[in-house]
Amino acid sequence: MKIFNFADPLQNLLPYDGTVHYYGIIINQPDYFYERLKEEINWQHDQAMIFGKLIHTKRKVAWYGDSPFEYTYSGIQKVASPWNDTLLQLKKRVEAASGETFNSCLLNLYHDGSEGMAWHSDGEKDLKKNGAIASLSFGAERKFAFKHKLTKQKIDIQLENGSLLIMKDETQSHWLHRLPPTTKINTARINLTFRTIEEL
């Protein structure tokens, strides 16, 4: 059974101050992996510390890695669970397609279009500076947006079911990104962002 199909990425989607490549659909049977991830992952409601108050989101998250990495964002510390076979299989394919290597993965489960992510950069101190972040999408096709921190220029892209997007170089220093909420989507999306944690 042929599952994976590697395609050459298009040119850099960013006009300056960073590098983003969209590889399109690299997984030919994404629904198969969507179901496995939905069933196998230890999903938990995400938490954030906002103005000193602990907030629980509808969106669910999970954190996996080579080691029990501690990763802090939105004021909450998470400890990575060990990889399962499905995640290792997907990690190897993403690494083969992109030429990058990763040691961890943050997963997000959005139940429908009402759940999204506000403008932010993945610039946490635990992450490898200017390292690549690979975003692998399953389920509902959603718009993904970039905004330059100074010029405010915006760039949008549709992330397809089974597609791969790579952000690297100075992207996180100069650009924000978000998953805008929408009333047009009533099905779920699972997103995997493979990352590199700097080990001390």
* pLDDT tens digits along 30-55: 999 999 999 999 999 876 666 666 66
Q: Is the pLDDT of residue 10 over 80?
A: no
Residue from 134, 153, 136, 110 nearest 17 by CA = 153
DSSP structure class, residue 127 = B
Residue from 29, 189, 197 nearest 110 by CA = 189
Between the CA of residue 176 and those of 73, 116, 117, 134, what are the distances in Å?
15, 14, 11, 16
Task: Say if residues 144 and 177 touch (Cβ distance below 8 Å).
Answer: yes
* pLDDT tens digits along 94-138: 999 999 999 999 999 999 999 999 999 998 888 999 999 999 999
Share of the chain above pLDDT 70, in %: 88
Distance CA 193, CA 103 (A): 11
Q: Which residue has the higher pLDDT, 19 or 1?
A: 19
Q: Is the pLDDT of residue 19 over 80?
A: yes
pLDDT at 57: 73
Q: What is the Cα gyration radius of the chain?
A: 16
Distance CA 80, CA 194 (A): 13
Classify burial at 137, counting beta carbons within 10 Å of its beta carbon; exposed 0-12, middle 13-18, buried 19 or more. buried
Distance CA 70, CA 67 (A): 9
pLDDT at 55: 67
The verdict on domain 19-195 having CATH code 3.40.50.620 is: no
Average pLDDT of span 13-34: 95
pLDDT at 74: 64
Q: What is the pTM of this model?
A: 0.90
**Which sequence spans correspond to the domains of the chain?**
19-195
Q: What beta strand segments (E) does the chain contain?
A: 19-25, 44-50, 53-65, 70-73, 76-79, 81-82, 104-110, 117-120, 133-139, 142-148, 154-159, 163-168, 175-179, 189-195
